[in-house]
Amino acid sequence: MSKDKKGDLFDLLFPDKDIISKAEIDRIRAGCEIVQFQKKDIIFKQNTLTSHIMFIKSGLVKIFKQGKNNKSIILKIATPGNFLGLISIFGESTFQYSASAIEDAEILFIDFNTFQSILTNNGKYTTSLLKKLSKENLYVIDRLIAQYHKQLPGKIADLILYFSEEIYHSEKFELPLTRNELAEFAGTTKESLIRTLTEFKNDKIIELEGKKVNIRSMDIIKTLSRIG
Amino acid sequence: MSKDKKGDLFDLLFPDKDIISKAEIDRIRAGCEIVQFQKKDIIFKQNTLTSHIMFIKSGLVKIFKQGKNNKSIILKIATPGNFLGLISIFGESTFQYSASAIEDAEILFIDFNTFQSILTNNGKYTTSLLKKLSKENLYVIDRLIAQYHKQLPGKIADLILYFSEEIYHSEKFELPLTRNELAEFAGTTKESLIRTLTEFKNDKIIELEGKKVNIRSMDIIKTLSRIG
DNA sequence: TAAACATGATGATTTACATCACCAAAAAAA
DNA sequence: TTTTTTTGGTGATGTAAATCATCATGTTTA
């Protein structure tokens, strides 16, 4: 890891230099470590004790809740520049969700006590974190509510919009998940997901070839998302 | 409002005196106001600008999201000793949900700038708030996930457990909501809710007379909640 | 390289629950 | 009071999507 890269990483971690001091950043820097994860590796597992503060340097991470009959539901895809598992770390003593790398990923592990001591001493930074966390949670709650009473076309339209707008910022992208995972994310079953995607394809709303998606009519997708 | 009562209220607002100073409490006290709401009064409305920090002194408050076809979903029942709308206040500029009193309620309105300045100056208190908010959000997210793939008996068992354990701390209580509201809370329709409650009654799992509930077999309720 | 397993895809069948229609009782408004 | 509106309740019907079954293709792993 070169020095330059470490600089970049800390710019990502603390984008607003006005609310955190050089000394504080150095304390974090001294007690942290970058860990490499490969595609499909588990980063943390539901019900295990929380320990470090984690921050995504690179790679996509899926956050999911595992149910009994080995069915999971995916809550979100976390992207570089975001913390992992913060809500569990602050809210409980164990992780409430699991996290796994959906592509090779680098995660920064920060010593919890160091981080905590900065929080208690720096109200400005803590307030900014409070705001960031609130925004993230609002988003998760809204997605769950939306899924709850939308039917299939609306759910799948939301799914496509999520990847297009939140992850890849493009109308053309490659899905990073299997059909089964996509179903777990959209709140349906593999079969229903496949059928709906196929309908979208037949109706020329999207081009679809394996995992490659190209949105042909963003209007229709947005309408489907809106009317549910 | 007697002085004694105001003392009680601030004990409720700041239960841990070690993390907040007398001076800070006095600043809050100077810039706050208690507002009375009657049953069914709206306390704040979805999509309106956030302004004050609100804290429940007495009364139950329902937090709900209003959909298009004048259907709502109830996210939670907020109880005395808790803040209202914090996630919206920190996460967005407008309220993401609506709140209304389901019984006569007293709400403490705290000046936002005063509160914010205490947060930025007192990292300990902000950290404690971060933890409280995380716990609350985890609970809301968990309820939504649970509802999502439980079927009716599990949903209604959860509903009964919620009132019994979270609100009234008793196996015998009076429902504070109409059947329609209960359905909005459980994630179903009025008809399905009524049918399921009637089944529970016929199966002697609960006694039910109007809004009066008495849980006869907590075991079965918990089993139904668990198996979904 | 074959065997074992995971993934993608379609068709047929089942079902849980929403929706619709209606009425009685209670509460609110006139 | 009477009228109107809201709430609680039940039966009949429709349907969206889960489930089940099966197979082709792709990917690990032995």
Q: Which helix (H) or strand (E) holds B17?
A: none
CA B173, C1' D2: Å apart?
36
Q: Are A204 and A149 in contact (CB under 8 A)?
A: no
Nearest CA distance, B18 vs chain A (angstrom):
13
**Model pTM?**
0.94
CB atoms within 10 A of CB A157: 25
Nucleotides of D under 7 A from a protein CB: 6-12, 16-21
Q: What residue spans of B122-209 are helical by DSSP H? A: 123-149, 152-161, 179-186, 190-202
Q: Quick one: pLDDT at residue A21? A: 96
Q: What is the mean pLDDT of residues A181-210?
A: 97
- Hey, is B34 helix, strand or coil? strand
More confident residue, A152 or A1: A152
Please report, rounded to whole angstroms, the spatial distance between the CA atom of protein residue B42 and the C1' atom of nucleotide C30.
Answer: 26
pLDDT in single tens digits along all 228 residues of chain B? 333 456 689 999 999 999 999 999 999 999 999 999 999 999 999 999 999 999 999 999 999 999 877 789 999 999 999 999 999 999 999 999 999 999 999 999 999 999 999 999 999 999 999 999 999 999 999 999 999 889 999 999 999 999 999 999 999 999 999 999 999 999 999 999 999 999 999 999 999 999 999 999 999 999 999 998
- Angstrom distance (rounded) from CA A44 to CA B129: 25
Residue in B65, B123, B142 closest to A126 by CB: B123
Residue B188 has what pLDDT?
A: 97
pLDDT score of B1: 36
Res A67: pLDDT: 82
Give backbone dihedrals phi and psi of B176, rounded to 5 degrees, phi first. Answer: -90, 5
C-alpha neighbours within 13 Å on the C-beta side of residue B38: 0
pLDDT recorded at residue A7: 65
> What was the pLDDT predicted at B67?
82
Nearest-angstrom CA–CA distance, B162 and A9? 44
Residue A184's identity, in one-letter code, is E
- A142 and B96 within 8 Å at the Cβ level: the answer is yes
Q: Which residue of A has its CA nearest to B135?
A: A91
Find the range with the poorest average confidence among A2-6, A221-225, B27-31: A2-6
A141 vs B contacts (CB less than 8 Å): 75, 137, 140-141, 144
Which long-range CB contacts under 8 A does B186-190 form with residues at least 24 apart? B186/B147, B186/B155, B186/B156, B186/B158, B186/B159, B187/A148, B187/B73, B187/B147, B187/B148, B187/B155, B188/B152, B188/B155, B188/B156
Nearest CA in chain B to A87: B134
* pLDDT bucket at A4, cuts 50 / 70 / 90: very low
